[in-house]
């Protein structure tokens, strides 16, 4: 089964998050090993995007809240597939072979 969001195919949880935010998640979450200079540039770019008039219709408080939640909970997008437990076999007793 394929999943589509607004006409775009989403194969991974990362794809869903990117389509929901309208920007790559790395812009908001950062990447492992980024320098302070890279982090500052990334946050500056994020501020520019939020200042764009296209986003003017979105409530500022909601955007601030979402950014804070993502920053305080970096594991928010860690999605782990659940493993189904193996089915137990029933042993029938007293049945001749």
List, for residues 29-40, the tens digit of each pLDDT value. 888 899 999 999
Beta bridge partners of 8: 5
Q: Which residue has the tokens 């909970």?
A: 73
Give 36 or 51, the one with higher predicted confidence.
36
Q: What is the pLDDT of residue 57?
A: 56
Question: Per-residue pLDDT tens for 65-89?
Answer: 777 878 888 787 777 777 877 777 6
- Answer yes or no: are the C-beta atoms of 45 and 38 closer than 8 Å: no
Would you place residue 92 in the very low, low, confident or very high pLDDT band (cuts 50, 70, 90)? low
Predicted TM-score of the model (pTM)? 0.45
Q: What is the largest CA-CA distance in the chain?
A: 79
Q: What is the pLDDT of residue 37?
A: 95
């Amino acid at each position: 089964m394929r999943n589509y969001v607004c006409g775009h195919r989403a194969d991974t949880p990362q794809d869903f998050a990117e389509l929901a935010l309208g920007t790559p998640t790395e812009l908001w979450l950062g990447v492992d090993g980024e320098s302070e200079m890279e982090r500052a540039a990334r946050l500056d770019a994020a501020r520019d995007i939020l200042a764009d008039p296209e986003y003017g219709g979105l409530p500022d408080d909601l955007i601030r809240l979402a950014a804070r939640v993502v920053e305080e909970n970096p594991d928010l997008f860690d999605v782990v597939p659940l493993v189904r437990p193996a089915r137990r076999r029933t042993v029938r007793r007293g049945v001749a072979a």
